[in-house]
Amino acid sequence: MTFKLSRQQLQLLTVGIIAALLLVGAISWKAYGLSADMSPREMRDAITATVDYQAILFVNLLIGFSTLLMIMQLRGDALRVLLTVGVALIFGYLMTMLFNLDASVVFSRGEFRVSLLSDAVPLTSINYGDELTVELNDPRAETPITEVTHHFTGTAGDVVSVLAFGAERRSKLNMQLTLLDNAGNVLQENLDADDAQKRTFRRYLQSDGDAVVEGFVLPATGFYTIIAKPEADTADVNAEFTLALLSDNAPPVTLAYGSDPVGGIFNKEKTDAPLTTATYKFSGGKGDMVTILAYAFRGETDLDLQVTLKDANGEVLAANNDASAEQVESYRPQLKSTQDAIIQNVILPADGIYTITARPEPLSSSAQLRETVRATNKAYDAFLFGPLSRLNRWVIWIRDALTLIMLGLAVAIVFRAEQFSLGSEGQLYFGALVSAIIGLYFGNVPKTILVPMALLSAATAGFLWGLLPGALKAYLGANELVSTLMLNTIATRFYEMVLTFQLKPPDAGYTSSEWIPNNGLLAPIIDVNGDQITIAVFILIALVLLAWVMIQRTPIGYEIRMIGANIKFANYGGVNTRRTIMLTMAISGAIAGLAGAHLAMGIHRKLILNISVGLAFEGVVVALLARNNPLVVPFTGLLYAYLRTGAQMMERDANISAEVVRIIQAVVILLITAEALVSLFQQRRMKQRDKLMSSQGDTPAPAEGGA
């Protein structure tokens, strides 16, 4: 027997082989961790050093073969499948851009600090709320202190009180206070506190010699001087006294030369009034050279800052948006990147109060768009290449694909019979439950017996649960969509009940069964740090071949195709449609049950809540993309599993929700549905045209001649 390929088939075969080889090469290149700078010998060593490298190559060859099958089976529709996924990916990219519209916020949100550096002596030595203790006439000092002078900055209208009191309760000191303005004019003097003042300030004033300037209203914004010294009768007394500057007003300055950095959080999330601009004041003297640093704190390296220095009149003396690389090196560890800001070595022109303003650097619309695109590209890089970035991620992709391909096969079979059954979810749950129970309770049975027994039990459970909606459809005319959705709920709740009340260990921290014994698990062919690909690969190969043979080469397959084409015509042709519908849905259920067994025996290795997480409904997308062709389902299952795994990598690496893949899934379904609607519309137009032409052909021709 000879096979002769047409020219078109030869072209398809050539394209398919080239595409398959390219795909196998690209995936193997990433899976084995190869790079272009390796020599052939180094590449060979890297391949052989990879765990289970032969099995990895075998799986990659299967991926390439599935690509060849897709091209040969779908022909021109193969391009339409890829275009459908491509359009969905483009739409997903746009949706990801929407998620990233606020990507530029990283440049304006985060914790920051501002530091003021100078070698000059600060003009002020005391601030509101300070208490300074000094020892007068210390005989051990080389130059004993006989009086104290301090300077402070005040704002016009501030109410201040100045106290000078002995550090001990029965101090022998008799203090006096003088308050002067910046020109040296005496504003207030006090020798002794009266009784009322002692009561008002009883926390501080404890002896008759204490002095106080109470409730003085500062006449102007500027510098003030406090002079505290003993009166003449106690000028030689050796004792300690404390000088306190009290005010209920906010301090006019918040920074001083060499003081600890100040700061906060710009644009903090979930805040009614987020900080957008930070303002700090300091007292500066004429000729002082200062350096101001504004920098991101606690690793907020994306925060982009700008800083401005203004004089007492509000005029800008200096401003800076970005530090140079040299400045970053000079002022480490405060400055960490050129996005930090610095005003370096500015000489102050006069005595006064200066203002430092720090805020995130404003971004232009083009910069915001550029950052959105950059963040989206980063997310899509993780999405499209993440599943191949490490070998364990490759394993996760293939493992997920095995389940999706089984479910895609299950859905494709019932869809070929035009039965819109969504019962794979419930059948999967029953398959997982039964296979796990067999593994848990018969763990001492040899693996060669136990694993086939568990798989057969899972297939039987799925078969029977699929037979039920088939019987409801065949004999009662029940809508298969409604009945399977309701049965899914029953199966899911039954699974949860058995797991929670029968299989969950008493001391378990969360709802799950015991680990299935090793004898009840599918044997691994690839094991990467606990992430395994099992013999489910071979089970899947057998399922794909059997499904194709059944559909294309058996009487039941012919009946399924007949019912799918026209159920009335099938009835007229002698097909037992009731039996075929029941059997189709039951066979579909058996395959879905095996998918559940793979989850329990090959992936989780125990039962957990939500073991499926809607996988069966994603099997619908796999089947639709494959045009319900069993030989194409492996490719579409691999493709869709790749998108699912990529979405997980995108969420992990780029902090973008994995629900983006749901958007892509929805677009795929919409495009396939739209394609079907267009096809249906075209068929109706053709029927109307044929009917019109037929009616015109039946119209009698006018008689020749006349009466």
CB 158 within 8 A of CB 249: yes
Best CA proximity match to 320, nearest among 298, 302, 300, 293: 293
Rounded to 10 degrees, the C-alpha dihedral 612/613/617/618 comes to: -90
570 in the same domain as 552: yes
Answer yes or no: is pLDDT of 707 > 50: no
Q: Where are the alpha helices (DSSP H) in 312-423?
A: 325-330, 365-385, 391-416
The phi, psi pair for 221, rounded to 5°, reads -80, 130
Q: What percent of the chain has pLDDT over 90?
A: 51
Cis geometry, peptide bond prior to residue 630 (ω within 30 degrees of 0): no
259 in the same domain as 168: no
DSSP 673: H
Return all residues near 587 (Cβ < 8 A) that are at least 6 apart.
413, 463, 466, 550
524 in the same domain as 437: yes
- Per-residue pLDDT, 7: 83
What's the CATH code of the domain at 184?
Answer: 2.60.120.380
- Of the candidate ranges 121-125, 276-280, 316-320, 445-449, the one whose mean pLDDT is the lowest: 121-125
**Range among 6-15, 74-83, 530-539, 571-580 rated most confident:** 530-539
The one-letter amino acid code at 598 reads: H
* pLDDT band, residue 484 (cuts 50/70/90): very high
What's the CATH code of the domain at 260?
Answer: 2.60.120
CA dihedral sign of residues 102, 107, 113, 114: negative
Q: What's the average model confidence in pLDDT over 591-610? A: 96
- Of the candidate ranges 23-32, 189-198, 432-441, the one whose mean pLDDT is the lowest: 189-198
198 in the same domain as 87: no
282 in the same domain as 217: no
CB 386 within 8 A of CB 650: yes
CA dist 452 and 281 (Å) reads 79
Q: What's the average model confidence in pLDDT over 167-186? A: 85
Picking from 198, 222, 247, the residue at the C-terminal end of a domain is: 247
193, part of any domain: yes
The phi, psi pair for 269, rounded to 5°, reads -70, 155
452, part of any domain: yes
- Per-residue pLDDT, 705: 44
Tokens of 699: 């119209």
User: Higher-confidence residue: 598 or 705?
Assistant: 598
Taking CA 545 as the corner, what is the angle to CA 544 and CA 546, rounded to the nearest 5 degrees? 95
Best CA proximity match to 472, nearest among 559, 564, 584, 581: 581
* pLDDT band, residue 89 (cuts 50/70/90): confident
Best CA proximity match to 342, nearest among 292, 302, 377, 397: 292
- Per-residue pLDDT, 691: 66
CA dihedral sign of residues 323, 325, 331, 333: positive
The phi, psi pair for 215, rounded to 5°, reads 55, 45
For residue 301, give its domain range. 255-363
Q: What's the average model confidence in pLDDT over 610-634? A: 91
Tokens of 559: 């009946």
What are the pLDDT digits (tens) for 45-71?
999 999 999 999 999 999 999 999 999
The phi, psi pair for 308, rounded to 5°, reads -135, 140
- Of the candidate ranges 428-442, 500-514, 537-551, the one whose mean pLDDT is the lowest: 500-514
- Per-residue pLDDT, 200: 85
* pLDDT band, residue 690 (cuts 50/70/90): low
- Of the candidate ranges 66-75, 119-128, 379-388, the one whose mean pLDDT is the lowest: 119-128
Answer yes or no: is pLDDT of 38 > 50: yes
CA dist 644 and 650 (Å) reads 10
CA dist 495 and 395 (Å) reads 28
DSSP E strands in 382-541: the ranges are 524-528, 531-534
- Per-residue pLDDT, 301: 64
- Per-residue pLDDT, 695: 67
Best CA proximity match to 427, nearest among 453, 464, 396: 464
- Per-residue pLDDT, 684: 64
What are the pLDDT digits (tens) for 402-418?
999 999 999 999 999 98
CA dist 548 and 626 (Å) reads 13
Tokens of 42: 């180094």
Answer yes or no: is pLDDT of 675 > 90: no
Helix (H) or strand (E) holding 553: helix 536-553
Q: Decide: helix, strand or coil at residue 614.
A: coil
Q: What's the average model confidence in pLDDT over 153-179? A: 87
293 in the same domain as 236: no
507, part of any domain: yes
CA dist 393 and 72 (Å) reads 29
- Per-residue pLDDT, 299: 64
Tokens of 413: 């079979």
The phi, psi pair for 649, rounded to 5°, reads -65, -35
CB 696 within 8 A of CB 688: no
Q: Decide: helix, strand or coil at residue 225.
A: strand
**Range among 34-43, 213-222, 426-435 rated most confident:** 426-435
562, part of any domain: yes
CA dist 283 and 152 (Å) reads 9
187 in the same domain as 300: no
CB atoms within 10 A of CB 693: 10
275 in the same domain as 214: no
348, part of any domain: yes
157 in the same domain as 262: no
* pLDDT band, residue 698 (cuts 50/70/90): low
Q: How far is CA 685 from CA 109, 566, 678, 689, 690, in A?
A: 59, 19, 11, 6, 9
106, part of any domain: no
CB atoms within 10 A of CB 230: 23
- Interior/surface letters 149-175, b for 16+ CB within 10 angstroms, e for the rest: ebbbbbbeebebbbbbbbeeeebebbb
User: Higher-confidence residue: 567 or 487?
Assistant: 487
281 in the same domain as 231: no
352 in the same domain as 390: no
- Per-residue pLDDT, 449: 97
Q: What is the CA radius of gyration of the chain?
A: 41
CB 554 within 8 A of CB 421: no
Q: What's the average model confidence in pLDDT over 124-128? A: 87
CA dist 580 and 586 (Å) reads 10
Q: Which residues lie across from 356 on neighbouring strands? A: 280, 309
* pLDDT band, residue 680 (cuts 50/70/90): low
What's the CATH code of the domain at 571?
Answer: 1.10.3470
Answer yes or no: is pLDDT of 544 > 90: yes
Q: What's the average model confidence in pLDDT over 537-566? A: 94
- Of the candidate ranges 7-16, 628-637, 676-685, the one whose mean pLDDT is the lowest: 676-685
CB atoms within 10 A of CB 569: 11
Return all residues near 50 (Cβ < 8 A) that are at least 6 apart.
31, 32, 33, 56, 391
705, part of any domain: no
- Per-residue pLDDT, 55: 95
Helix (H) or strand (E) holding 335: none
State the first-to-last Cα distance of the chain, in angstroms, to the nearest integer: 71
Q: Based on the structure, what is the number of domains in the chain? A: 3
Picking from 191, 219, 247, the residue at the C-terminal end of a domain is: 247
1, part of any domain: no
Best CA proximity match to 614, nearest among 644, 642, 649: 644
Answer yes or no: is pLDDT of 105 > 80: no
Picking from 247, 277, 303, the residue at the C-terminal end of a domain is: 247
CA dist 288 and 350 (Å) reads 9
What value does the mean pLDDT of the chain take?
Answer: 88
What are the pLDDT digits (tens) for 250-268?
888 888 888 889 998 888 8
Answer yes or no: is pLDDT of 699 > 60: no
Residue written as tokens 């009466």?
707
495 in the same domain as 642: yes
